[in-house]
Structure 1
Amino acid sequence: MHERISAGETSFPGASLAELGDAWRTLAPSRISFVSPTLLDHDLAAVRKLIDAGGYRVETITHPFMPGQPLSHDEASWLAPRARLSRLIDIAQQIGARSIYLLSGGHGGLDWEDAAAAFCACIAPCATQARSAGIALAIEPASPLHADLHIAHSLRDTVQLAEMAGLDVCIDYFACWTEAGLRATIERAAARCAIVQVSDYAYGDRAYPCRAVPGDGAIPLRRLLEWTLAAGYDGAFDLELIGPRIDREGRVAAVARAAQVVGTMLHELGA
């Protein structure tokens, strides 16, 4: 597997630590990523044992910062999510994770600018903590179908929110590949890009989750990879493969094939 490819836990939803360990031993990545409940709700010693056994670098952690909770200017509503993220930052530092990327919290009844201001105020102490710990704290674009969880539904809005909050960016090609002016937005994002997520979309899929193995769909991945590398991004590319297509093929087989396709593209592009 190409050294810059990360095999993410997001591709193995519901897997136990033992099942993750088996998958990663088969795939042999140098970089892996976690979902935050695995780290927050399990024995950290077992997680560290898994990491050490494979000699993995923990590239990133995905975290639903305020799951199902709308953004609000009520500071009391921030306390529990902020405390949980603070604990995750400590854990990330302990296991050597490079970044955490998150969803902001839902729109609720606020307009975008007001919701963004609430998010910036809410996240500020955690942003300071993450910088001190050497952890990139990032936000990603997500479909409007996740409006109960997030307010940034394009890469442009994600970069704007990150700039407002003093955070980094996760570029998810699946969520942004159809945007106008995408190359310019990738160039704008590159200086604060912490992680890039790679998957594909097949025309005709209408229900989430509906990701496809890179190369099986319509996303012009080689072009997006080329733009991202040309913009100066030198980090990892995390595979996030979920949905019926992945389940039918088998998760390990799908990730292995994705790693081969993306790795070939990266080699050809000189990465």
Structure 2
Amino acid sequence: MTRWTVNCSILYTDLPLLERPAAAAADGFTAVEFWWPWPVAVPGDREVEGFVRAVEDAGVRLTGLNFFAGDMPAGDRGLVSWPGRSRELLDNIPVVAAIGERLGCRAFNALYGNRIDGADPKEQDDQAVELLTACARGVRGTVLLEPVSGAPRYPLLTAADAVAVLDRLGEVPNVGLLADFYHLAVNGDDVPAAIERYAGRIAHVQIADAPGRGAPGEGELPLRRWIDDVRAAGYDGYVGLEYRSEGPDAFAWLPRQDRAADPEGSST
């Protein structure tokens, strides 16, 4: 049985952020994930407390959380390799870790960051190794590295790109590949081949259909088959629903009785 988790940063966007965990619970889900919920690396204690309480009061488990990634609506895609902003990420790590401890979250997505004008790509990549190591040492759980689409300056496009970075981390144990089948497919990666080759490196899975980044069945991707493939290869974690859809039909493709996941299970 597939264990689903709802990304409440891209779904339920018609609601205030703190109302979204309860909305997911009302729709029959027991697990949620979020991008970084605030526009700054270190929000106030009251803001963090409100977020934690919203998840707890909804009775759902937080299965995934991003590190601070900059101004996402403006096109930023992470600080891991961004020269001059490492302090923000380092300050963010203990906040992420504390939320993870309070809510039982064990999967943390560290977006790599765009190539920066005037910056040496090698220096960016060397910084990324240092900061990904700091992220991994600073949290209890798995730090995820994700190829993404729609960001022309983001250098990790395929599963192989991300795994090459993970290989540079050497003996750091708690790092893994976030395989978002939508991003991989849109970038032209061979998803079945990536599953076969990197099954042992995949620590989280997310889905959306393409074209359009809509719900499963709205596009042309064989998402069910790919989920079956990755599960057959040994993946037993959550599958994140990270697509764009609003209204009563956002989850019409998934029968209500299939939405609940084991809230005590491991995310990766």
Compute the TM-score of the two structures, normalised by the length of structure 1.
0.76
Query: How many Å apart are 1:54 and its aligned residue?
Result: 3.2
Structure 1 partner of 2:255: 260
Q: Distance in 2 between matches of 1:50 and 1:72?
A: 32
Residue 46 of structure 1 is aligned with which of 45, 50, 55? 50
Which protein is richer in helix relative to its size? 1
Report the residue type matching 2:179 in the other structure. I
Report the residue type matching 2:252 in the other structure. R
Report the residue type matching 1:123 in the other structure. L
Structure 1 partner of 2:263: none
Gaps of 5+ in 1: 203-209, 265-271
Residue 99 of structure 1 is aligned with which of 107, 114, 137? 107
Structure 1 partner of 2:136: 127
Q: Distance in 1 between matches of 2:79 and 2:7?
A: 27
Determine helix, strand or coil for the equivalent of 1:191: helix
Query: How many Å apart are 1:174 and its aligned residue?
Result: 0.6
Q: Distance in 2 between matches of 1:182 and 1:153?
A: 12
Moved more, 64-73 or 222-231: 64-73
Matched-pair contact (CA < 8 Å) for 2:68–2:79: no
Query: Does residue 1:233 correspond to 2:239, yes or no?
Result: no
Structure 2 partner of 1:205: none
Structure 1 residues 129, 72: closer, same or farther in 2, change over 3 A? Answer: closer
Structure 1 residues 53, 73: closer, same or farther in 2, change over 3 A? Answer: closer
Q: Distance in 1 between matches of 2:255 and 2:121?
A: 40
Query: How many Å apart are 1:239 and its aligned residue?
Result: 0.4
Superposed, 1:73-112 pairs within 5 Å as 77-109=85-117
Q: Distance in 1 between matches of 2:57 and 2:81?
A: 43
Matched-pair contact (CA < 8 Å) for 1:58–1:97: yes
Query: How many Å apart are 1:72 and its aligned residue?
Result: 6.0
Moved more, 95-104 or 59-68: 59-68
Matched-pair contact (CA < 8 Å) for 1:60–1:195: no
Structure 1 partner of 2:34: 34
Indicate the percent of aligned positions where both proteins have the same amino acid: 21
Structure 2 partner of 1:189: 198
Determine helix, strand or coil for the equivalent of 2:132: helix
Moved more, 175-184 or 64-73: 64-73
Structure 1 partner of 2:185: 177
Query: How many Å apart are 1:111 and its aligned residue?
Result: 6.4
Q: Distance in 1 between matches of 2:100 and 2:200?
A: 22
Determine helix, strand or coil for the equivalent of 2:37: helix
Q: Distance in 2 between matches of 1:156 and 1:230?
A: 20
Query: How many Å apart are 1:50 and its aligned residue?
Result: 2.6
Matched-pair contact (CA < 8 Å) for 1:3–1:29: no
Residue 151 of structure 2 is aligned with which of 114, 125, 146? 146
Query: How many Å apart are 1:66 and its aligned residue?
Result: 4.7
The count of residues paired between Structure 1 and Structure 2 equals 242
Query: Does residue 1:7 correspond to 2:9, yes or no?
Result: no
Determine helix, strand or coil for the equivalent of 1:79: helix
Query: Does residue 1:220 correspond to 2:222, yes or no?
Result: yes
